[in-house]
Structure formats: C-alpha cells, structure tokens
Structure 1
Amino acid sequence: MPVLEALLSLIGPAYLAYYGFTVPVAVVWAILCAALWVWNNRPSKRNGVARSRSASLMFFILVAACYVTAHMGVYLLARHLARLWA
C-alpha cells in the first residue's frame, strides 16, 4: 500500500492551497508525509537486511525531495485553480 499512502497525502497540499496557507506549511506537510512513508516502509518491518544509518538518511532525503516536488506541483495547481474559482 505504499502507493496509496503517497496518493492520499496529495490531498493535503490541495487543501492547504485552497484555504490560503503559505508554501512553508505545504513543505512541512510534505516532509511529514515522507517521514511517515519511510517509517511505515522501513526494512525492519520486513524480513530483510537492515540499512546503515547513513544509507537510511540518504534514502529519507531522496524520498522527502520527491514528496516535496510532487506536493508543490499539486499545491501550485490548486492555488491557481482556487484563484480562478474565487
């Protein structure tokens, strides 16, 4: 269900943009969603090889960057559409 979690997290930026929250709030939302996704999909939950601390940090940074990029796209689109509807 990792994909479902990621798609559901995109509701947040649309809500934040529609109600006029600023970009830093949306970035914090994206980082929190990335942290939750990494936590829910950590290797220790599965039977596998554990990652080192530095590899885990680099993986989190990569996931967080992807989340921030996707969330900012949704945020900017929703903010643009909210201005058109208002």
Structure 2
Amino acid sequence: MLGLEAWLSLIGPAYFAYIGIAIPFVVVWAIICAALWIWNNRPSKRQGPPRSWPASLTFFVVVAACYVAAHTAVYLLVRYLAPLWA
C-alpha cells in the first residue's frame, strides 16, 4: 500500500497539467518524489540487513519508473479533463 507521501505527490502532476506546464517537469517531479520515498523508507530506519549498492540502485530505478508512470498517467488524465472543467 502506498504511503501518504506517494498519494500527495500526485497533486504535483495534476497541478502541472491544469496550468499547462510541460511533461519534463512532471518527470523531474516524479524522480524527486521517488528519491524522497526511497530516503524515507531506507533500511537503516528499519531493523534489517542493509542493501548492497547495486541492489539499492536497481530498487531506486524500479521505484522511479513506477513513479514516472503513475505521474504521467495523472498528468495526461488531468490534461485531458482540464478543458472540460473550464
């Protein structure tokens, strides 16, 4: 289940789409949100073995790809619906 910060991060692409900002800003926003999620859920905060550097990088790439996909979907949905609201 996604945490609160993951759900709140979806406000950014919705706002960007509503005001008409380009998609590269959404991708940067998604990568920053993924980095913050990784930082807030790092193994050193929990009891468990630390991950190796390649495993951590792979995990970050997978999480960032998921964030980019979700943020792009929200962006495109709001971009499509924005003219209908105005």
TM-score, normalising length: structure 1: 0.94
Q: Report the aligned-residue RMSD.
A: 1.3
Alignment partner, residue 8 of structure 2: 8
Percentage of matched positions with identical amino acids: 70
In 1, the alpha carbon distance for the partners of 2:4 and 2:13 equals 16
Cα deviation, 1:24-57, whole Å, max 9, x if unaligned, reads: 0000000000000000000011111000000000
Alignment partner, residue 22 of structure 1: 22
Q: How many residue pairs get matched?
A: 86
TM-score, normalising length: structure 2: 0.94
- Structure 1: state its 5+ residue gaps: none
TM superposition outliers: structure 1 runs of 4+ over 3 Å: none
Q: Shift of the alpha carbon at 1:60? A: 0.2
In 1, the alpha carbon distance for the partners of 2:81 and 2:36 equals 28
Alignment partner, residue 33 of structure 1: 33
In 2, the alpha carbon distance for the partners of 1:27 and 1:21 equals 12
- Structure 2: state its 5+ residue gaps: none
